[in-house]
Amino acid sequence: MTSEWRTIDLDRGDDGVRVDRVLLRHLRREKGVSRNRIQKWIEAGNVLVNGAAPSRPAWRIQAGDDLRVRVADIPKRARPQAQALSLDVIYEDDDLLAVNKPAGLVVHPSYGNASGTLMNVRLRPSAGNSRVSAIFAKPSPIARAVTRPSSAMLGLA
């Protein structure tokens, strides 16, 4: 965590607005800043309004308040790495790969599941087909509604 406090220059649009929303508006260009993260900073005492920690994220900013924040270092997310996992491939050609996703397999990497996902397998070059390797070399969303506990047949194009 950085030890320096940053002063937020408040303007008239901040009067009467929740402190978490004010910080989100003023820090929106900072990478990795979210309202949830700001609320954690407030709870940890890393936000001061007039020299005192606000009692809750819903604390309302008033005209003339002095707002300071100590921005914690935001961990960088690692790029997904290619991995070899055994998959039940149903169909494969130059443009399409269809796999049977078993229950328990996560589709996309996240902070809780950085490896062992279908996306990690998708990044792995196909042994027999260089064109499929080229198609699947760039990571992109596969599916949004397929959850870890469900099984499904997924088409990757």
In a domain, 103, yes or no: yes
Q: Are 69 and 41 in contact (CB under 8 A)?
A: yes
pLDDT of residue 126: 56
Half-sphere exposure of 141 (CA within 13 A, CB side): 4
**Same structural domain for residues 152 and 94?**
yes
In a domain, 83, yes or no: no
Q: Does pTM surpass 0.85?
A: no
Q: Would you state the pLDDT for residue 142?
A: 58
**Spatial contact of 41 and 72, defined as CB atoms under 8 Å apart:** yes
Does residue 74 fall inside a structural domain? no
Structure tokens at 54: 């606000």
End-to-end CA distance of the chain: 42
> Would you say residue 82 lies in a domain?
no
Residue where a domain terminates, one of 69, 103, 124: 69
Count how many domains the chain has. 2
Is residue 57 located within the same domain as residue 102? no
Encoded amino acid at 82, one letter: A
For 61, the domain range is: 6-69
What sign results for the dihedral spanned by CA atoms 137, 139, 143, 145? positive
Q: 10 and 60: one domain?
A: yes
pLDDT band at 123 (very low <50, low <70, confident <90, very high): low
Residue 110's pLDDT band (cuts 50, 70, 90): confident
Residue 128 placed within a domain:
yes
- What 3 state SS string does 135-146 have? HHCCCCCCCCCC
Task: Residue 13: give its domain's CATH number.
Answer: 3.10.290.10
